[in-house]
């Protein structure tokens, strides 16, 4: 697959570092912390409740695989794993996705501030291409992570 559908966005395969039977993992163009990635079902589904049982299982198994690698690779000591399910929960891309963020002691003054950052990070009004990482940066990170899964 040369591209992946992520809600209203098209993701280049160069940014995807893992594909399972029903899910894919992609580096984030606007990471909140180093190593912040997204795990998404291949089928474009807006809400978590609309996933089929086998998609839920695959999504969470893929998230679990990715989590261990990220925590190690980015020298984290913990993880934040989050789903924003619906607009009032902060979801801006109409495609279920799991945020996986490697965490370190002191990365935020108040630990739960990461949720505020996630919400700010995802707001479309602040979605300015100049703030995005380049395709080359994203491809390089995906290449680094892909090595753990081959």
Catalytically active residues, by annotation: 97
Residues 6, 9, 11: CA angle, nearest 5 degrees? 70
29 Cβ contact partners less than 8 Å away, ≥ 6 residues apart: 15, 132, 133, 138
What span, in angstroms and rounded, lies between the C-alpha atoms of 53 and 32? 30
What span, in angstroms and rounded, lies between the C-alpha atoms of 22 and 126? 31
Among 91, 76, 86, 89, residue whose Cα is nearest residue 33: 76
């Amino acid at each position: 697959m040369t591209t992946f559908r992520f809600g209203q966005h098209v993701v280049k395969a160069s940014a995807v570092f893992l594909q399972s039977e029903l899910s894919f993992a992609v580096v984030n163009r606007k990471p909140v912390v180093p190593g912040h990635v997204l795990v998404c079902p291949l089928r474009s589904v807006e809400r978590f409740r609309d996933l089929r049982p086998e998609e839920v299982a695959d999504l969470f198994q893929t998230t679990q695989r990715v989590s261990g690698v990220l925590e190690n690779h980015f020298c984290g000591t913990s993880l934040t794993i989050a789903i924003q399910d619906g607009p009032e929960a902060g979801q801006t891309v109409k495609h279920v996705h799991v945020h996986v963020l490697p965490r370190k002691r002191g990365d935020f003054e108040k630990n739960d501030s990461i949720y505020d950052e996630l919400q700010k990070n995802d707001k479309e009004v602040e979605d300015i291409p100049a703030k995005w990482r380049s395709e080359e940066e994203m491809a390089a990170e995906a290449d680094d992570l892909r090595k753990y899964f081959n």
